[in-house]
Amino acid sequence: MGVIKDKFKEKADAMAAEVKEILKEHGDKKIGEVTLSQVYQGMRGITGLVTETSLLDAQEGIRFRGYSIPELQQKLPKATGGSEPLPEGLFYLMLVGELPNDEDVQHLTSVWQRRSHVPNHVFATIEALPVTTHPMTQFVVAIMALQTESQFAKKYAAGLNKKDYWESVFDDSMDLIARLPRVAAYIYRRKYKKGDHIQPNGLLDWAGNFAHMMGYENEGFQELMRLYMTIHADHEGGNVSAHTTHLVGSALSDPYLSFAAGMNGLAGPLHGLANQEVIKWIFELREELGNECPDKDQIIEYVKKTLSEGKVVPGYGHAVLRKTDPRFTAQVEFGKKHMPDDPLVKTVWNIYEAVPPILQSLGKVKNPWPNVDAHSGALLVHYGMKEYEFYTVLFGVSRALGVLASLCWDRAFGFPLERPKSITNAQVKLWLEGKDEIWGE
Ligand code: HAX
């Protein structure tokens, strides 16, 4: 076995034994009650999943294995001459629960380089789609085409012992993460650069090589990709992309099928597609006002117009967070360091001043603060990546790190098929009238 696989196995065996003990001793303990509103309104606040890789606090934001984003920016290994964390390091941390050293990260970089081959039929499948197809659709179709490579699917078909599920899920996860930058860069170059593709550079780290294959050699953009791939990787287990990957994986669908399902969820405008919606909204705002850097009052008027049309303000609000997203703040810091005078970046900062009080005044929005998607597009545009329909693919490549590390844990724990109970309105009414008390069976 590989070094990382051995390490994971060692940790997973210990944790799985601990979980077994916890369930034996405390399995009947209650951790909450479910209200009718929660049943009807997206199950907010119901604790119903175990996800090892990260934990979200409504006030503080995300912590990956206990570490906040600023802590990770300090503690995770960097590229030579760089100051942003390498996403390889975050993956290592999420997977084995320990901070990696430089050597661990270099090892992971070379493992992913080695496993990054994408078979030709995947490119042919992408080419079969009209070039106008949304990049997220191309991405999902390509992941599905890659499913021919699943070791889990092959081994399961040949007859696999339950105890060994984790191992081929681990191998598929590593292969898939290694291959995604090549697939995503191919889609980018096909759609926006006349199919003028760029070969990988075996000397670069995972995110740096991704930037290179998309055609961005600027060191600033490579640093941005390292930060971007780190901060978008995981947001505990209940968000749509993570939960979907976990849910589909619980049917023992292989990592390719599970991750593709998660990516279909990420492609929704209330989730990952919000990053494209934000920049589109800002471009429209600037065009309508004929002003490259609109001031706060102009923005306020435009926000009111958006709301009056029954639309959401993209990039603002969150189902769990109740403060400014630290992933937004990390990007503000990056902007201040690399492009403090960029008019689009300044517009994002002006929007940050204008939007929260308006959303607060509506009285119904639980979180008026910006999320990760409010900022990311402006940084990309600064380096010339204006093709905003592609942005969610970038998010998706990063999200693979978290959801696939979690999928390895799901199989290591031997989690069963996920199958919550649903009810009908008629049954709710009977229950309210005291005529039916049968729940859960
Ligand atoms: N603009 C306008 N109205 C908003 C709003 C926003 N940014 N955020 C919430 N609201 C509204 C909701 O639409 C809802 O209205 P109705 O009662 O009329 O249906 C009301 O406020 C209560 O919603 P909530 O409880 O505060 O928020 P939810 O948990 O239901 O939804 C969302 C969270 C992120 C979906 C929501 O805030 C939203 O639509 N934001 C804009 C889209 C966005 O930025 N999505 C990305 C989120 C982060 C992420 O997943 N990134 O990938």
Residue nearest to atom 17 of ligand 1 (CA): 364
Q: Is 319 in the pocket of ligand 1 (CB under 6 A)?
A: yes
- What would you measure as the largest C-alpha separation in the chain, in angstroms? 70
Tens of pLDDT, residue by residue over 359-377, are 999 999 999 999 999 999 9
> What percent of the chain clears pLDDT 90, i.e. is strictly above it?
96
Q: Which of 244, 318, 397 should be mutated for ligand 1, with most atoms under 8 A from CB?
A: 318
> What percent of the chain clears pLDDT 70, i.e. is strictly above it?
99
Ligand 1 centroid–CA 147 distance in Å is 34
Q: Is 366 in the pocket of ligand 1 (CB under 6 A)?
A: yes
Ligand 1 centroid–CA 367 distance in Å is 8
Ligand 1 centroid–CA 440 distance in Å is 30
Ligand 1 centroid–CA 303 distance in Å is 14
Closest by CA to 428, choosing from 39, 11, 7, is 39
User: What number of residues does the chain have?
Assistant: 441
Mean pLDDT within 270-289 = 96
Point out the ligand 1 atom lying closest to the alpha carbon of residue 319.
29
Q: Is 371 in the pocket of ligand 1 (CB under 6 A)?
A: yes
Residue nearest to atom 27 of ligand 1 (CA): 319
Q: Which of 327, 360, 364, 395 should be mutated for ligand 1, with most atoms under 8 A from CB?
A: 364
Class of domain 274-382: mainly alpha
- What mean pLDDT is reported for the chain? 96
Active site residues: 271, 318, 373
Q: Which of 231, 234, 270 should be mutated for ligand 1, with most atoms under 8 A from CB?
A: 270
Q: Is 272 in the pocket of ligand 1 (CB under 6 A)?
A: yes
Q: Is 43 in the pocket of ligand 1 (CB under 6 A)?
A: no
pLDDT at 436 (0 to 100): 75
Q: DSSP readout, 359-415?
A: HHHHS--S--SB-THHHHHHHHHHTT---GGGHHHHHHHHHHHHHHHHHHHHHHHT-
Task: CATH 1.10.580.10 in the chain: give the residue spans.
Answer: 1-23+48-269+389-441
pLDDT at 375 (0 to 100): 98
pLDDT at 441 (0 to 100): 47
Tens of pLDDT, residue by residue over 46-75, are 999 999 999 999 999 999 999 999 999 999
Q: Is 274 in the pocket of ligand 1 (CB under 6 A)?
A: yes
Fold of 1-23+48-269+389-441: Citrate Synthase; domain 1 (1.10.580)
Tens of pLDDT, residue by residue over 146-203, are 999 999 999 999 999 999 999 999 999 999 999 999 999 999 999 999 999 999 999 9
How many Å apart are CA 111 and CA 178, to the nearest integer? 8
Q: Is 270 in the pocket of ligand 1 (CB under 6 A)?
A: yes
Task: CATH 1.10.230.10 in the chain: give the residue spans.
Answer: 274-382
pLDDT at 439 (0 to 100): 61
Distance of CA 436 to the CA centre of its chain: 41
pLDDT at 440 (0 to 100): 52
Residue nearest to atom 32 of ligand 1 (CA): 318
How many Å apart are CA 13 and CA 164, to the nearest integer? 12
pLDDT at 435 (0 to 100): 85
Tell me the whole-structure pTM to 2 decimals.
0.97
Neighbour-count burial of 331, counting CB atoms closer than 10 A to its CB (0-12 exposed, 13-18 middle, 19+ buried):
buried
Residue nearest to atom 46 of ligand 1 (CA): 271
Residue nearest to atom 4 of ligand 1 (CA): 312
Radius of gyration for the chain, computed over Cα atoms and rounded to the nearest angstrom: 22
Tens of pLDDT, residue by residue over 295-342, are 999 999 999 999 999 999 999 999 999 999 999 999 999 999 999 999
Residue 72 exposure: Cα atoms within 13 Å on the Cβ side: 30
Residue nearest to atom 50 of ligand 1 (CA): 271
How many Å apart are CA 94 and CA 88, to the nearest integer? 10
pLDDT at residue 438 is higher than 80? no
Residue nearest to atom 23 of ligand 1 (CA): 365
